[in-house]
Amino acid sequence: MSRRIWLTGASSGIGAALAELLLQRGARLALSARNAEALAAIAQRYPQQVLLVPGDLGDADQVRLIGERIAQRWGALDQVILNAGTCEYLDAAHFDAALVERVMRGNLLSAAYCIEAALPLLRLGQTPHLVLMGSSVTHLALPRAGAYGASKAALRYLAESLRLDLPEIDITLVSPGFVDTPLTRRNDFPMPMLWPVERAARHIATRLERRPLELAFPGLFIGALRLLAHLPARLRLALGRRLARKESV
């Protein structure tokens, strides 16, 4: 029987590329995003494999209804890939708490709502697997990334804690570096070792089959961040401030 997968953030970027790959491999996908038209275009190409469950994942009531619809159609889930997320950069000189709240809702609270809806279905599935989309930014603090980095750091802690409490479910944290998506194209700074979205999706889809605790890439970029993260605190501070000055030019 083909695997039953709930994939969020499926309308563009990594999510859309992942959807295409997983559908080509025969999976059945419940697709979520706010852009219902983009999801419908995918469903037209794979009408027997796609269940459309669009909505705002930052709204707990909408997520609950999505979970109920999946339960009515499939009865269970074998894998959940929580890929949906957002990014906004924080200008600390004009600190905006509302921005922090938006990013936390888009990256952390939306994931929590989805986990709440998904866990009963995963417990009924075959070899259940929960996948959370984190970020390489959690290895090293970067300028203007206070809201985004905090949300992804919280997601990392959530994943690691859930592994302790949910031994019956495999949990993978995906920590990508820079990937060429509509979201990253808005960045106004250099993005070293930028991967095309198709390459990133292939990398994720293939390695998720092994159910690793963490899937981080590109290897050289992640290795460099981890090394820098072990510098003394004052050296990390000096490095970050030099980056901040370059960005402000």
Any idea where the domains of the chain sit in the sequence? 4-248
46 pLDDT more than 80: yes
1 pLDDT more than 80: no
| pLDDT tens string 94-130 | 999 999 999 999 999 999 999 999 999 999 999 999 9
79 close to 63: Cβ distance less than 8 angstroms: no
Token code pair at residue 156: 């990392």
The one catalytic residue among 46, 89, 113, 148? 148
The per-residue pLDDT for 188 is: 87
How many Cα atoms sit within 13 Å of 217 on the Cβ side? 18
What torsion, rounded to 10 degrees, do the Cα atoms 238, 240, 246, 249 define?
Answer: -100
Q: How much is the average pLDDT of 24-44?
A: 97
230 pLDDT more than 80: yes
- Of the candidate CATH numbers 3.30.950.10, 3.40.50.620, 3.30.365.10, 3.40.50.720, the domain formed by 4-248 belongs to 3.40.50.720
Active-site residue 148, yes or no?
yes
Taking only Cα atoms into account, the Rg of the chain, rounded to an integer number of angstroms, comes to 18
With 0.75 as the threshold, say if the pTM is over it: yes
| pLDDT tens string 120-178 | 999 999 999 999 999 999 999 999 999 999 999 999 999 999 999 999 999 999 999 99
Task: Tell whether the torsion through CA atoms of 109, 144, 86 and 3 is positive or negative.
Answer: negative
Task: Tell whether the torsion through CA atoms of 233, 109, 41 and 30 is positive or negative.
Answer: positive
Peptide bond into 218 cis (omega under 30): yes
Conformation bin of residue 13: beta by default, left when phi > 0, alpha when psi is -120 to 50:
left
Token code pair at residue 186: 């808005």
Tell which residue, 4, 83, 9, has the closest CA to residue 50.
4
| β-strand partners of 30 | 6, 51
Conformation bin of residue 9: beta by default, left when phi > 0, alpha when psi is -120 to 50:
left
